[in-house]
Amino acid sequence: MNFAANTWASAAPEASHEALLTRLESRDAVIGIVGLGYVGLPLSLCACEAGFRVIGYDLDADRVRRLNDADSPFTHIRPARVAAALQHARFTATADPGALAAADAVLICVPTPLGPHREPDLSYVEQTGRMLAGILRRGQLVILESTTYPGTTRDVLKPILESSGLRSSTDFFLAYSPEREDPGNAEFNTALIPKVVAGDGEGALCVASALYRQLVPATVPVSSLETAEAVKLTENIFRAVNIALVNELKLVFAEIGVDMFEVVEAAKTKPFGYMPFYPGPGLGGHCIPIDPFYLTWKARELGICTRFIELAGEVNTGMPRYVVERVREELDRRFGKGLCGARTLVVGIAYKKNVDDMRESPALTIMDMLDRAGGKVDYYDPHFPVIPPTRQHLALAGKASVPFEPAFLSRYDAVVIVTDHDCIDYEMLLRFSRLIVDTRNRMVRVGGGEALRVVARA
C-alpha cells in the first residue's frame, strides 16, 4: 500500500470524462445508489430533488416494495418526499442489480460494521464491488461513501472492480466521498452539508466533484482517496474522544456533587476555545462507536499504538455499567432494595432521540445488564413497538414496548431515561414514577420540588 500515492497522475492515459461531465452538469445523468438505508435513501431523495433520475438498489425486497408504494421506512423521512420523487418519475427502487447498468454514476452506501473482535467487516463493500464488476461499463463513475479505513477504496474496492477487465482511470472512474448524514438533524440535511471528495486520478475527481456540486452547497476536493477516508474517521474520532472526556469528567464531578450538565452549559458561554459535548449513557449509532476502531485496527497493522483512541473507547463503553450502578445505588438509598427482583422501565431504546434507529444503542446493553442482575426489565419507545433482532442482544429480540400509561408507570421501582424523544410525556412520567434515573438531563425542563424528590441523575 502506498499512502503517498499521487492521485493526480496515472500510468495509463485517463479515460475521457467530458461526456459524463456534460451529463452531470446538465443533470441528464442517471444516478444509481446501492443501499437505501439511513444514508442511501436521503441521498437518493436529495438527487431526485436536484433533478436527477435515481435508481435505488437494496437487498431488502420489503423496503423496495414500501418505497415504490410511496412509503418511508424511517420516521425522520416523510412519505411525502418519497411520493414526490415517484410522482415526477425521478425515483425507482429495485432489488435487481442489473438495473444499475443503466446508471452513469453508482454511489455505494452500504454498512461497514465491526466483526466479533472489533476488526473491520468490509463484506458488504466487497459484495457490492463484485456485483458491480459484473455490470460495469466504460465511462461509469463509481463512488464509495461508506466509512472505512484509509486504503480501502484503492486496495480493496478497486481490484474487485478491475476484475471486470476494465481499468480505473482508463475505462471507468473511481472516487471516494464520505457520508456525513445525521439522521433526525433538523438543521442540517443531506443537501446542506459540504462533501469531501477524492478521485483515483484527475478525471475521477473532476466528475465526482461535478456530481456533488449539483447536490450540496460546496465540495471539498482532497489530494488522495486515503485522505478522504481519513477525514471521516477524524470527524467521528474527534466526537468519540470528546464525549469520552465529558463522560469521565462526569464520573469525577458526580463524586463531589457537581452537575456536569450545568458545567457544560456555563462553559459554552465562552465565545472561543471551547466546544460543548454532553455526557450520556454510552455511544450509539453506526458511526461513533465503530469508526474509531477502523483506525485502531489499521494502526495495529502498521505497528502503531493508538492509546488515546482506545482509552476513549473504554470510557464510552463503560457508561452503561455506570448507569446500572446508579440505578442500584438509588434503589438501595431510597427503598432499601437491590437490582434483583426490582422492576425497571427503560424509556427510549433508539441510539438518539427522535429517530427509529437503534444500531449500537446503549439502551440494549443497559437492559441486558439489568436482566442479568435479576431484575425485571421492560421498555417504552414509540419508535420501536418490538425490538428487532440484533447481533449482540439476541435475547431481547421480539420484546414488545409496554403502554405509556399511569397504571404501568406506577408499578415500576425505577424508570431509566436513556433516549429522550421529544414525543414522550415527561410530566406524566414525573407524576406517576417512584424513581427516575435521568441520563439525558431531560427532567430538568419539568422541574419543581417534586422533580427533586423523584429524579436522580446518571
CATH 1.10.1040.10 fits 233-315, yes or no: yes
pLDDT in tens, 12-62: 456 678 999 999 999 999 999 999 999 999 999 999 999 999 999 999 999
For residue 109, report the phi and psi dihedrals to the nearest 5 degrees.
Answer: -125, 65
pLDDT in tens, 165-177: 999 999 999 999 9
pLDDT in tens, 327-355: 999 999 999 999 999 999 999 999 999 99
199: which DSSP letter? Answer: E
Between CA 366 and CA 260 the distance in angstroms is 21
Residue 457 has pLDDT above 90, yes or no: no
* pLDDT on residue 450: 60
* pLDDT on residue 275: 97
157: which DSSP letter? Answer: I
In this chain, the answer to whether the domains covering 18-229 and 320-457 adopt an identical fold is yes
Q: Which residues are catalytic?
A: 287
Residues 187-213, mean pLDDT to the nearest whole number? 95
Give me the CATH topology for the region 320-457: Rossmann fold (3.40.50)
Between CA 339 and CA 318 the distance in angstroms is 18
Between CA 395 and CA 111 the distance in angstroms is 23
Among residues 359, 361, 388, which one has the least CA distance to residue 37? 359
Pairing state between β 105-108 and 91-94: unpaired
Between CA 402 and CA 386 the distance in angstroms is 10
Between CA 36 and CA 56 the distance in angstroms is 7
11 vs 225, which has greater pLDDT? 225
Give me the CATH topology for the region 18-229: Rossmann fold (3.40.50)
376 vs 4, which has greater pLDDT? 376
Residue 449: pLDDT band with limits 50, 70, 90 = low
pLDDT in tens, 241-293: 999 999 999 999 999 999 999 999 999 999 999 999 999 999 998 888 888 99
* pLDDT on residue 3: 34
Q: Any idea where the domains of the chain sit in the sequence?
A: 18-229, 233-315, 320-457
How much of the chain, in percent, has pLDDT values that exceed 90?
Answer: 84
* pLDDT on residue 391: 83
Residue 1: pLDDT band with limits 50, 70, 90 = very low
* pLDDT on residue 458: 85
Helix (H, G, I), strand (E, B) or coil at 364: helix
| Average pLDDT in the chain | 93
